[in-house]
Chains A and B, each alone.
Chain A
Amino acid sequence: MGLVTVIPARRWPWYIGVCVLACTSRPLTPMQQQTIIAWMACEECDEGERDSVAVLGHAAVPQLATYLLHGPPDSRVASYEKHLGDLRRRLAAYATTHPDIGALEDSVAYVAGYLANYDALYRSRAAFSLGDIGGSPAQLALQAAAARPLRGDVLQHVTFALDSLWHP
């Protein structure tokens, strides 16, 4: 089976765009990668984290597209999931001596809820930054995300980013 038959025709622009970008872009430096991580993770982002990513320009698009389409890196998700599981166990122990805090949500649901937010945060912020950077590769990544079954609020943000896409 050839590559042409595997990839639908309507998806070719996206793959071509990403391939061109990947081939022509230099790898992000550790500092540039840290700039993106800082934006993904900040709580009150008053230090220009989002703008700093926009300054990176097209070099940041492959990384942002990955976050948008696939969420946070697996290693970080696994680490956070373990942390949440540990925290939930400590919370359960605490609840046995402090019943006034009320019944706890099921541990699986507890962990899953926060993990879902973590995933959504990466995707939404990646979408915003792709909209900030603009250009065809960013647009293609956003269009690809818009076609996916994302969580409602993330989809809203993708749509917003597409609508407000900056055209250099």
Chain B
Amino acid sequence: MNRRRHWITLVGLTALDCSWCSTHQPTTAAVCYVSLTPASAIVEVGHSVPFGAVGQMPDWTACTASITWMATGGTVGPGGIYTAGPSVGSFQVTASAGSGQSVTAPVTVVAGGKDEVVLVDDLLTTALDASPPASSGLSVTLEDLAPAGTESVILVSAQTSPTECSTYMVRRVGEFLFNNLLTIVPPCRDEIVTFSIDDPVVLDEGDGDAGGIWSDVGGETRPIKLGSGLREVPIVVWVTIGTVNGDDVVTRVKNDFQTASFLFNANRTGIVLAPEIKEPYRAPESIDPNAAEWSWCTKPVAHYQSGTINVYYVDNVSAFYANDLGRHCRDVDWNLIYIWISASSETTLPHELGHAFSLNHTGDAGIGLYGTEFTKVNLMWQGEIKRTTLSLGQAFRITLEANSALAKNGIWQGTTRECACRIAGVGTMCPGMASPSNQTLIQQSSSDGACPSLGKAW
């Protein structure tokens, strides 16, 4: 009895086994599996990322599959476009075929922002074009940059949240070549701009052939690429005659502008100052430097030209207002600058122009008035007498920042971008960005998904 039952069971199992084999072995080749790309994605809140799904046979040949899509944390359309919802977190996109086959890709939705852009110059176009587009989770292979691009400069900014700045750094490309890879992981937002040290930092909107993609907060994308050439910044200069002789004043004004032009050029800002020095006139006419009610930023009625930067060289200023060497009147008129001619230094003018170009004091980046991250030779450092430099990040801001006089006055008509973060108490001014020599190299992604330490410099 037991033996019979054993045989029955054995035959039955064999039959089941054969049944399983007959069911699956012949149809393995017939099933159209689903291949989903990308295998995973990182997308900002409210933004979209395209997925693709195709039928694929086990031998990698294509097959026809009727794909249906499902998603969590957002929506996915029939074409596979996944649009993230309002919540950050880990979600998934699933593509299913009619055969019952399905495949799932994890999606990480990160905090949104306006701060993702990759700008490349001609030297680096090939390398970056061959890499994934700029976005969160950017990974750029830099091996193609050597040797021609090793002296180029790469700027990285990362942000840990929409309201909190993390770090900025500027490095030479050659410094990355030890591992040929630069990775920024979510939830950092990222930005890379590269340019040759021999070329001005001039940015043109392009046709997309050679540029990265700018994705703004609305999900709109625009291509940008670096261009060449310089941008001329017209400046109207009004010279008032006080205790200093008029001829001397004009000579001094020319000295200031020659020095400023040199310094802006030497720092590769990509701009050329084009001052129009008006005939000196005796103050007061519309302003009275000695009147108690006069202040630096009283906007003159006459001798003012709208739509361009107006620099007033004034003299004989009352002791009431002797607290400044110069003043950019951001609260009154972004195009209004005063220079106290009898006290200002050779870098007072470029310092105030830096303000008009959206740069704040280096110490206002949240690290105290006399912060330690910038060296004292930076033009936006307060109160030093040996200032000659701007960081590459500052040069970048001069051109692209929406609050720069370049954009405000229509000199730069391309895409603008806001600073990665605003510093509380200083309105729309940008924090500076430094290129410190003692900064550690960028680190690779951390295992817990937090922002990697990019150094501490602004």
Q: CB within 8 Å of B: which residues of A?
A: 38, 41-47, 49-50, 76, 79-80, 83-84, 87, 90-91, 94-95, 98, 101-102, 104-105, 109-110, 113-114, 117-118, 120-121, 124-125, 128, 131, 151-153, 156-157, 160-161, 164
Contacts and interface: CB of A to CB of B under 8 A. Distances in A.
A43 B351 contact: yes
A44 B382 contact: yes
B277 to A, nearest CB: 10
B319 A43 contact: no
A44 B324 contact: yes
Interface stretch (B17-25, B206-214, B252-260): B252-260
Contact of B254 (A44, A76, A102, A124): A102
B440 interface: no
18 contacts: A41-B384, A44-B326, A80-B385, A87-B259, A87-B388, A90-B262, A95-B258, A101-B258, A101-B261, A101-B262, A104-B255, A105-B254, A113-B255, A114-B255, A114-B345, A118-B345, A128-B319, A161-B319
B346 interface: yes
Contact of A43 (B255, B258, B316, B382): B382
B131 interface: no
Interface residues of B, number: 38
A3 B251 CA distance: 47
B325 A121 contact: yes
Contacts of B257: 101
**3 closest pairs, A vs B, by CB?**
A41-B383, A45-B323, A160-B319
A88 to B, nearest CB: 9
A153 B342 contact: yes
B348 interface: yes
B322 interface: yes
Interface of A is mostly: helix
Given A43-B383, A91-B262, A84 B346 contact: yes
Given A43-B325, A87-B388, A152-B243, A117 B262 contact: no
Given A43-B348, A44-B382, A102-B258, A124 B322 contact: yes
Nearest to B386: A83
Contacts of A44: 323-327, 382
A81 to B, nearest CB: 10
Nearest to A100: B272
Interface of B: 242-244, 251-252, 254-255, 257-259, 261-262, 265-266, 315-316, 318-319, 322-327, 342-346, 348, 351, 369, 382-386, 388
Contacts of A46: 323
Contacts of B327: 44
B346 A87 contact: yes
A120 B342 contact: yes
B324 A43 contact: yes
B5 to A, nearest CB: 97
A80 B387 CA distance: 11
Contact of B385 (A104, A109, A118, A164): A118
Contacts of B348: 43
A53 B187 CA distance: 46
Given A43-B326, A118-B345, A157-B322, A91 B258 contact: yes
B254 A91 contact: no
A87 to B, nearest CB: 7
A133 B266 CA distance: 44
Contacts of A161: 319
A80 B316 contact: no
The residue among B258, B324, B325, B388 with the most chain A CB atoms within 10 A of its own CB is B258
A45 B255 contact: no
B424 to A, nearest CB: 16
A80 B348 CA distance: 15
Contacts of B326: 43-44
B324 A91 contact: no
Nearest to A106: B251
A46 B327 CA distance: 11
Given A125-B322, A152-B243, A94 B344 contact: no
